[in-house]
Amino acid sequence: YGDAGNLSRRHACRNADGEFLRVGGLGLTGVIIKGIGGFYYVKAEDDIIECKARGRFRKEGLVPMVGDTVSVSVKNGKGSIDEILPRTTMLIRPAVANIDQLVVVVALRSPEPHAALIDHFLILGEHSGIETVLCFNKADLPHTQELVDIYRNAGYRVVLTSVETGEGVEELKSLLKGKITAFAGNSGVGKSSLLNALGAPEGLETGRVSEKIQRERHTTRHVELIELDGGALALDTPGFSSFEMPAVKAEELQDYFIEFAPYIGGCKFRGCAHISEPGCAVLEAVEQGKVSKLRHNSYKELYQELKKVKEWET
């Protein structure tokens, strides 16, 4: 799954507006938006079809996933998934396929942002081959511009939003059109409220942030794609703990900090970890303000976490 030929085949099933079409020899195609108790709910054209998967998938070791583009047939009022089309991307936890885009939602205040958590998601997107957008939410609250500028200057796509004032909502909505987007972020950052502002059909349940622990109660019960204004499909994930760090080795971490790229290879010693080594070009760039100290501190924190992982665990 995921080679160039498969990519073109999958996208042939969707037009420029993200609508699903009939494809020659494949019958009606749609996307799995929810799976509960062995039943899969497939959005195909203007319908939601309740389906069971063909028994042969079990024999082939294939399990339909939310986000899968599938070929379905309906007989005597009962839907059947006949074929799972090739996947372009796949996440294991949460189990979801064909995500086009990852929107990492970060609250500028309440809860206070943590760079290592932000970078965790950026690494996940890069490692999975998923385009990533950083959404700094709650922009109506008092905040400093420093964090926003750090990531924007590093080369990431950044959007500032506020549900209270409407700032950035239309800009973000335009980025979602025709795509399947996963919304991720630490608890309490306002993902559900933001999705409501983007046109979640019946409104998503939101939790109030505790002043004491600054964490939002998880309200998402299962993985489900929801349709937003303009036909965009979005996955609301139940919080940071639902994502695992991808299988990245400590020595590979430097490749996921994109602003390090001009300096890697310029260090005095081969195999430099960019932690405290003499003659390190990355550390020199940090001292000169060319690389953010906050980002470098985040790199060191994640590097130490990855160093604790045994070789057989990656």
pLDDT tens digit sequence for 181-211:
999 888 888 888 999 999 987 655 544 433 3
Closest CA to 31 of 300, 189, 231: 231
**Using CB atoms within 10 A of its CB, is residue 17 exposed (0-12), middle (13-18) or buried (19+)?**
exposed
Q: Say which residue, 21 or 261, is predicted with more confidence.
A: 261
pLDDT tens digit sequence for 116-144:
889 999 999 999 899 999 999 999 998 88
pLDDT tens digit sequence for 55-110:
999 889 899 999 999 999 998 888 999 999 999 999 887 889 999 999 999 999 98
How many alpha carbons lie under 13 Å from residue 155 in its C-beta half-sphere? 11
Say how far residue 130 (Cα) sits from the centre of its chain: 7
CB atoms near residue 109 (< 10 Å) = 15
Q: What percent of the chain has pLDDT over 90?
A: 56
DSSP 8-class letter at 140: T
Secondary structure E strands in the chain:
22-23, 27-36, 39-44, 47-53, 69-75, 78-84, 90-91, 96-97, 101-107, 131-137, 157-160, 180-184, 225-227, 233-236
Q: Give the SS3 label for residue 124.
A: helix
The per-residue pLDDT for 152 is 95
Q: Is the pLDDT of residue 259 over 50?
A: yes
Q: Is the pLDDT of residue 311 over 80?
A: no
Mean pLDDT, the chain, rounded, equals 83
CB of 63 closer than 8 Å to CB of 92: no
